[in-house]
Amino acid sequence: MTRSTSGHYSRTAAQSPAGGHHTLAETESAVSERLANLELDMGSMAAVQNVYRAANAFRNHLESTVLAPHELTWTGWVVLWVVWIWGDIETRHAATEAGISKGTLTGVVGTLEGRGFLTRRTHPDDARRVLLALTAKGKRLMSQVFPEFNREEARLMSALSTDEVATLTQGLRKAVASLDD
Protein backbone atom coordinates (compact mmCIF):
# COMPACT_ATOMS: atom_id res chain seq x y z
CA MET A 1 0.00 0.00 0.00
CA THR A 2 1.47 3.28 -1.05
CA ARG A 3 -0.29 6.45 -0.14
CA SER A 4 0.75 9.50 -2.07
CA THR A 5 0.35 13.17 -1.45
CA SER A 6 -0.02 16.60 -2.89
CA GLY A 7 -3.65 17.33 -2.06
CA HIS A 8 -4.53 20.36 -0.07
CA TYR A 9 -6.83 18.91 2.54
CA SER A 10 -6.99 15.16 2.05
CA ARG A 11 -4.74 12.37 3.08
CA THR A 12 -3.25 11.27 -0.21
CA ALA A 13 -2.74 12.32 -3.77
CA ALA A 14 -1.44 10.67 -6.88
CA GLN A 15 1.63 11.98 -8.61
CA SER A 16 0.61 15.18 -10.31
CA PRO A 17 -0.12 14.79 -14.03
CA ALA A 18 0.35 17.69 -16.44
CA GLY A 19 -2.35 20.26 -15.79
CA GLY A 20 -3.78 18.18 -13.01
CA HIS A 21 -2.29 19.86 -10.02
CA HIS A 22 -2.34 23.53 -9.15
CA THR A 23 0.12 25.18 -6.83
CA LEU A 24 -1.10 26.64 -3.60
CA ALA A 25 -0.50 30.12 -5.04
CA GLU A 26 -2.81 29.33 -7.97
CA THR A 27 -5.35 27.92 -5.57
CA GLU A 28 -5.28 30.97 -3.33
CA SER A 29 -5.64 33.17 -6.39
CA ALA A 30 -8.68 31.27 -7.57
CA VAL A 31 -10.23 31.45 -4.10
CA SER A 32 -9.64 35.21 -3.91
CA GLU A 33 -11.31 35.68 -7.27
CA ARG A 34 -14.29 33.59 -6.27
CA LEU A 35 -14.78 35.30 -2.94
CA ALA A 36 -13.51 38.81 -3.66
CA ASN A 37 -16.27 40.28 -1.47
CA LEU A 38 -15.38 38.33 1.63
CA GLU A 39 -12.67 38.78 4.17
CA LEU A 40 -10.66 35.61 4.24
CA ASP A 41 -7.99 34.43 6.60
CA MET A 42 -5.64 33.09 3.98
CA GLY A 43 -2.90 32.53 6.52
CA SER A 44 -5.01 30.15 8.58
CA MET A 45 -6.36 28.46 5.46
CA ALA A 46 -2.82 27.81 4.25
CA ALA A 47 -1.76 26.56 7.68
CA VAL A 48 -4.64 24.09 8.02
CA GLN A 49 -4.13 22.84 4.45
CA ASN A 50 -0.41 22.36 5.01
CA VAL A 51 -0.83 20.61 8.34
CA TYR A 52 -3.19 18.11 6.72
CA ARG A 53 -1.02 17.75 3.65
CA ALA A 54 2.09 17.13 5.76
CA ALA A 55 0.28 14.57 7.93
CA ASN A 56 -0.74 12.66 4.80
CA ALA A 57 2.72 12.90 3.31
CA PHE A 58 4.31 11.58 6.51
CA ARG A 59 1.81 8.76 6.89
CA ASN A 60 2.15 7.76 3.25
CA HIS A 61 5.92 7.89 3.31
CA LEU A 62 6.27 5.91 6.53
CA GLU A 63 3.70 3.35 5.40
CA SER A 64 5.31 2.71 2.05
CA THR A 65 8.96 2.76 3.17
CA VAL A 66 8.80 1.08 6.59
CA LEU A 67 5.42 -0.37 7.53
CA ALA A 68 3.95 -2.09 4.47
CA PRO A 69 6.88 -4.51 4.06
CA HIS A 70 6.10 -5.73 7.59
CA GLU A 71 2.38 -6.09 6.85
CA LEU A 72 1.62 -3.08 9.04
CA THR A 73 -0.73 -0.16 8.52
CA TRP A 74 -0.25 3.22 10.09
CA THR A 75 -2.87 2.64 12.77
CA GLY A 76 -1.86 -0.96 13.35
CA TRP A 77 1.64 0.36 13.99
CA VAL A 78 0.37 3.00 16.38
CA VAL A 79 -1.56 0.44 18.42
CA LEU A 80 1.39 -1.95 18.56
CA TRP A 81 3.61 0.94 19.59
CA VAL A 82 1.25 1.93 22.42
CA VAL A 83 1.09 -1.67 23.74
CA TRP A 84 4.87 -1.96 23.39
CA ILE A 85 5.55 1.24 25.33
CA TRP A 86 3.05 0.70 28.16
CA GLY A 87 3.04 -3.10 28.45
CA ASP A 88 -0.21 -4.87 29.27
CA ILE A 89 -2.82 -2.22 28.69
CA GLU A 90 -6.61 -2.06 28.76
CA THR A 91 -8.28 -1.56 25.42
CA ARG A 92 -10.02 1.67 26.47
CA HIS A 93 -6.65 3.17 27.42
CA ALA A 94 -4.99 1.89 24.27
CA ALA A 95 -7.70 3.57 22.18
CA THR A 96 -7.09 6.86 23.97
CA GLU A 97 -3.31 6.66 23.64
CA ALA A 98 -3.58 5.65 19.99
CA GLY A 99 -6.07 8.40 19.26
CA ILE A 100 -8.83 6.24 17.83
CA SER A 101 -12.34 5.33 18.96
CA LYS A 102 -13.06 2.16 20.93
CA GLY A 103 -14.94 0.70 17.98
CA THR A 104 -11.98 1.29 15.67
CA LEU A 105 -9.62 -0.22 18.21
CA THR A 106 -11.68 -3.42 18.31
CA GLY A 107 -11.28 -3.77 14.56
CA VAL A 108 -7.57 -2.94 14.45
CA VAL A 109 -6.83 -5.28 17.35
CA GLY A 110 -8.71 -8.01 15.48
CA THR A 111 -6.40 -7.50 12.51
CA LEU A 112 -3.24 -7.48 14.64
CA GLU A 113 -4.39 -10.51 16.65
CA GLY A 114 -5.04 -12.35 13.40
CA ARG A 115 -1.48 -11.62 12.33
CA GLY A 116 -0.14 -12.94 15.62
CA PHE A 117 1.31 -9.65 16.88
CA LEU A 118 -0.77 -9.28 20.04
CA THR A 119 -3.32 -11.00 22.23
CA ARG A 120 -6.38 -9.94 24.17
CA ARG A 121 -7.60 -11.42 27.45
CA THR A 122 -10.37 -10.61 29.87
CA HIS A 123 -9.36 -8.52 32.88
CA PRO A 124 -8.95 -10.79 35.98
CA ASP A 125 -10.91 -8.38 38.22
CA ASP A 126 -13.47 -6.92 35.86
CA ALA A 127 -15.02 -8.96 33.07
CA ARG A 128 -16.04 -5.82 31.24
CA ARG A 129 -12.45 -4.98 30.47
CA VAL A 130 -9.99 -6.48 28.01
CA LEU A 131 -6.20 -6.45 28.36
CA LEU A 132 -3.81 -6.30 25.42
CA ALA A 133 -0.27 -7.68 25.31
CA LEU A 134 2.31 -8.18 22.60
CA THR A 135 3.21 -11.71 21.60
CA ALA A 136 6.86 -12.73 21.30
CA LYS A 137 6.48 -12.21 17.58
CA GLY A 138 5.09 -8.77 18.21
CA LYS A 139 7.96 -7.82 20.50
CA ARG A 140 10.56 -8.95 17.93
CA LEU A 141 8.73 -6.94 15.28
CA MET A 142 8.75 -3.77 17.37
CA SER A 143 12.43 -4.08 18.24
CA GLN A 144 13.20 -4.48 14.57
CA VAL A 145 10.88 -1.87 13.09
CA PHE A 146 11.05 1.01 15.55
CA PRO A 147 14.66 2.00 14.77
CA GLU A 148 13.82 1.93 11.02
CA PHE A 149 10.70 3.99 11.68
CA ASN A 150 12.58 6.58 13.73
CA ARG A 151 15.31 6.83 11.08
CA GLU A 152 12.65 7.62 8.47
CA GLU A 153 11.07 10.15 10.84
CA ALA A 154 14.49 11.81 11.02
CA ARG A 155 14.70 11.79 7.24
CA LEU A 156 11.26 13.38 6.98
CA MET A 157 12.42 16.29 9.09
CA SER A 158 15.95 16.52 7.70
CA ALA A 159 15.22 19.54 5.51
CA LEU A 160 14.64 21.60 8.65
CA SER A 161 17.16 22.64 11.28
CA THR A 162 16.84 21.37 14.85
CA ASP A 163 15.48 24.77 15.90
CA GLU A 164 12.97 24.82 13.05
CA VAL A 165 11.74 21.34 14.02
CA ALA A 166 11.32 22.43 17.63
CA THR A 167 9.50 25.61 16.58
CA LEU A 168 7.18 23.60 14.33
CA THR A 169 6.36 21.19 17.15
CA GLN A 170 5.74 24.05 19.56
CA GLY A 171 3.38 25.86 17.19
CA LEU A 172 1.39 22.70 16.55
CA ARG A 173 1.11 21.93 20.28
CA LYS A 174 -0.10 25.46 20.89
CA ALA A 175 -2.80 25.24 18.24
CA VAL A 176 -4.02 21.84 19.47
CA ALA A 177 -3.88 22.85 23.13
CA SER A 178 -6.15 25.80 22.41
CA LEU A 179 -8.72 23.33 21.08
CA ASP A 180 -8.71 21.30 24.24
CA ASP A 181 -9.67 24.36 26.26
Partner DNA sequence: CGCTGACCGTTTGGACCCGAACGATTTGGG
Partner DNA sequence: CCCAAATCGTTCGGGTCCAAACGGTCAGCG
**Binders of DNA in range 84-103 (CB under 7 A):** 90-92, 99-103
Q: Report how far residue 8's alpha carbon sits from residue 84's, in angstroms, rounded to the nearest whole number.
A: 34
Cβ count within 10 A of residue 35: 10
107 belongs to the binding site for its own copies (CB under 8 A): no
# chain residues binding its own copies, by CB under 8 A = 90
Q: Is 54 exposed, middle or buried (0-12, 13-18, 19+ CB in 10 A)?
A: middle
CB within 8 Å of 27: residues ≥ 6 apart? 8
Question: Which residues lie across from 119 on neighbouring strands?
Answer: 133
Residues 55-84 that bind its own copies (CB under 8 A): 55-59, 61-62, 74-75, 77-78, 81, 84
Buried b (16+ CB within 10 A) or exposed e, 75-111: bbbbbbbbbbeeeebbbeebbebbebeeeebeebbee
N-to-C CA span, the chain = 37
**Region near DNA per CB under 7 A, out of 38-46, 128-136, 137-145, 146-154:** 128-136
What is the nearest approach in angstroms of DNA to the Cβ of residue 165? 24
Q: Report how far residue 146's alpha carbon sits from residue 23's, in angstroms, rounded to the nearest whole number.
A: 35
Question: Does an H or E element contain 132, and which?
Answer: strand 130-134
Rg of the Cα atoms in the chain: 20
Q: Residues 57, 82, 83, 109: which binds DNA (CB under 7 A)?
A: 109
* Smaller CB separation from its own copies, 102 or 137: 102
Site track for its own copies across 150-179, x = CB under 8 A: xx-xx-xxxxx-x-xxxxxx-xxxxxxxxx
Q: Choosing among DNA, its own copies, none, which partner's interface includes residue 80 (Cβ < 5 to 8 Å by kind)?
A: none
Q: Choosing among its own copies, DNA, none, which partner's interface includes residue 109 (Cβ < 5 to 8 Å by kind)?
A: DNA
Residues 45-74 that bind DNA (CB under 7 A): 73-74
What is the nearest approach in angstroms of DNA to the Cβ of residue 130? 4
* Smaller CB separation from its own copies, 114 or 158: 158
List residues binding DNA (CB under 7 A). Answer: 1-4, 10-14, 17, 73-76, 90-92, 99-109, 111, 120, 126-130
